[in-house]
Structure 1
Amino acid sequence: MAKQARRPGRGTGKPTPVRRNKAAPAERFPPPKPPRKTARTEQKVVFDAPSAESDEPRTFRLGVVPGATPGKWIDAWKQRMPRVPLELVPIEVAGQRTAIDDLDAALVRLPLTDSSLHIIPLYDEVPVVVAAADSHLMAVDELTATDLEGEVLIPLTDDVLGPLDLPGTRPATFAPLPTDEAIATAASGVGILIVPMSLARMHHRKDADHRRLVDGPLSTVALVWPRDRTTPDVDTFVGIVRGRTANSSR
């Protein structure tokens, strides 16, 4: 009788070797798949991206009252912010508070009290007496209130100094005039007016001259802007006015 073939490992007392698949661990534990980009994830990435607002075309609008001189600051702005044009907007002292609401910042004349504004006083202007070039008042370098006794004081519609303590002067018999017309009237010898020096220079005439009034009120020019609109452009202009360089810390 033919012998039945035995399977290896059976009846021999020897364990049957187990064949190991080297690829089994990789097949059993595949690497984790990257998370799917959901709409929420993509939206978050866009939100956290750096803002490009600073590169958008814009203009810095600076209000300026008559007599203010921002020339050196404008030159510095052009060098530091060549891509942002600076627009000068003339404003009147009487309406300066209302005008600020439509501007980035403004150079105004104090007093101006408003808790919603940042106010930085910049410099004081001395007052001068404007009279005809051939007036006896122009014979000296400086004047005091007592030197004006008996003079006719021309009132102004755009007055920036407020009430003056000049008891020896006489009020004019005509209505208040704008500064340029008042200077033309003073040039004819009708009277005198008192304004900050910058306004006298702005409306200079050959037939009129001015002298400093040593005991007269000063006029303070200030930089102002709304507290709730302190933008990077405003901060840059404030730094220029305060003398900060482009690399200085704030």
Structure 2
Amino acid sequence: MTENERPAATPAPFRLVYVPGVTPTKWLRVWQERLPDVPVALLQHAPADGHALLLAGGADAGLVRLPVDRTVLSAIPLYTETTVVVFPKDHWLAAAEEVTAADLAEEVVFHPLDDSLDWPELPGRPAFERPATTADAIELVAANVGVLAVPQSLARLHHRRDLTYRTLVDVPQSQVALAWPEEATTDLVEEFIGIVRGRTANSSRGRTAAAEEQRRPSATGKKRTAQAGSPKAVPKSAAKARPKPGQRAGGGRTAQPKRGGSGGGGRKK
């Protein structure tokens, strides 16, 4: 195999970490359309582990829940999630259209260690101990031991037929953001920023836009080509000023020699 026949090296993947409940599918679909030659390595981690991975340089960017360490990480808030309370289907809260924190005053409310809601004060009665994960807390709710307040996406992620949920109003909400190490803002990170912000391929500031700019002929080049390939147009003012045959530039006609006269054009007798 000659050097020219060697297959091109596969580009290093863009490493994207995301936390449970966040779905990056719609953004990855656009990525594959714009950069089909650059693979994406998806890394799912718990919220705290996702932040640690970004800080350690183990991922190029992450779809995480705020807050993050803004002294090291840059972050762009994307959306805010509705908070819901999860409980068994036969629970008395199922009769309500929405639930307030005051409605939970007599309920045991679980507070898992991986909770992503910044509670100033957890509503209801505290459980005997904190479950390690949201999944563990869901199991306790299914056993009718208490209820659980979570972002709506996590309630859907841990859906069970014997459980339901209602919107929990006047409580903290979870905010999802795109974060990346501030000192490692690469072209690929810029590409992903453009995608999540809804920029078109032409307006993106990353590699796609640079490649498109190189393929696009410059305005100066177009102008020179047009000048070289087409005849110069004659201004109307110049066309009007050009004298017709037999006409002076001032507008009168030139004198024609008379036949048979004394002028140089006559025949000598």
If the length of structure 1 is used for normalisation, what is the TM-score? 0.74
Partner-residue secondary structure (3-state), 1:165: coil
Question: Which of the two has higher C-alpha Rg?
Answer: 1
Question: What is the match of residue 186 of structure 2?
Answer: 231
Is 2:115 the counterpart of 1:155? no
The aligned residue for residue 131 of structure 2 is: 176
- SS of equivalent to 1:153: strand
CA distance in structure 1 between the partners assigned to 2:109 and 2:73 by the alignment = 35
2:191–2:204 Cα contact (<8 Å) kept: no
Structure 2 counterpart SS, 1:119: strand
**How far does residue 222 in structure 1 lie from its aligned partner after superposition?**
0.6
Alpha-carbon distance in 1 for matches of 2:73, 2:185: 10
User: Is 1:96 matched with 2:50?
Assistant: yes
How many Å separate the matches in 1 of 2:69 and 2:200? 30
Alignment of 1:123 with 2:76, yes or no, is: no
Maintained 8 Å contact 2:86/2:148: yes
Alignment CA distance shift 1:246-1:150 (3 Å): same
Greater displacement, 194-203 / 222-231? 222-231
Query: Which consecutive unaligned segments of at least 5 residues does structure 1 have?
Result: 1-54
For 2:23, the equivalent position in structure 1 comes to: 69
> 1:183 aligns to what SS in structure 2?
helix
Deviation sequence 1:9-40 (CA, Å, 0-9, x none)? xxxxxxxxxxxxxxxxxxxxxxxxxxxxxxxx
The answer as to 2:165 corresponding to 1:217 is: no
**Alpha-carbon shift at residue 223 of structure 1 (Å):** 0.5
Pairwise CA distance, 1:79: 0.9
Aligned to 2:246: none
Q: CA deviation at 1:122?
A: 0.6
* 8 A Cα contact 1:133 1:187, kept in partner: no
Instruction: Measure, in 1, the Cα distance between the counterparts of 2:71 and 2:114.
Output: 25
CA distance in 1 between partners of 2:137 and 2:161 (Å):
15
- Larger RCO: 1 or 2 (CA < 8 Å, sep 6+): 1
Q: How far is 1:199 from its partner?
A: 0.6
Other-structure match for 2:195? 240
* Distance apart, 1:106 and its partner CA: 0.5
Aligned to 2:224: none
1:134 to 90, 93, 103: 90
Secondary structure in structure 2 of the residue aligned to 1:130 = strand
Establish whether residue 204 from structure 1 lines up as the match of residue 159 from structure 2.
yes
Across the aligned residues of Structure 1 and Structure 2, the Cα RMSD in angstroms comes to 1.8
Give the fraction of aligned pairs with identical amino acids, expressed as a percent. Answer: 50
Q: For residues 93 and 166 of structure 1, do their structure 2 counterparts lie closer, same or farther at Cα, with a shift above 3 Å needed?
A: closer
Distance 1:164 1:185 in 2: 23
How many residues align structurally? 196
- More deviation in 180-189 or 74-83? 180-189
Separation of aligned partners in 2, 1:188 and 1:139: 20
User: What does 1:2-13 align with in structure 2 at a 5 Å threshold?
Assistant: none
Taking the aligned partners of 2:109 and 2:204, their CA distance within structure 1 comes to 50
**1:246 alignment partner, SS class:** coil
Determine the structure 1 residue equivalent to 2:61: 105
Conservation of the 8 A alpha-carbon contact between 1:155 and 1:177:
no
Q: 2:32 aligns to what?
A: 78
Q: CA deviation at 1:249?
A: 5.4
CA positional deviation for 1:163: 2.6
Q: Secondary structure at the match of 2:161?
A: coil
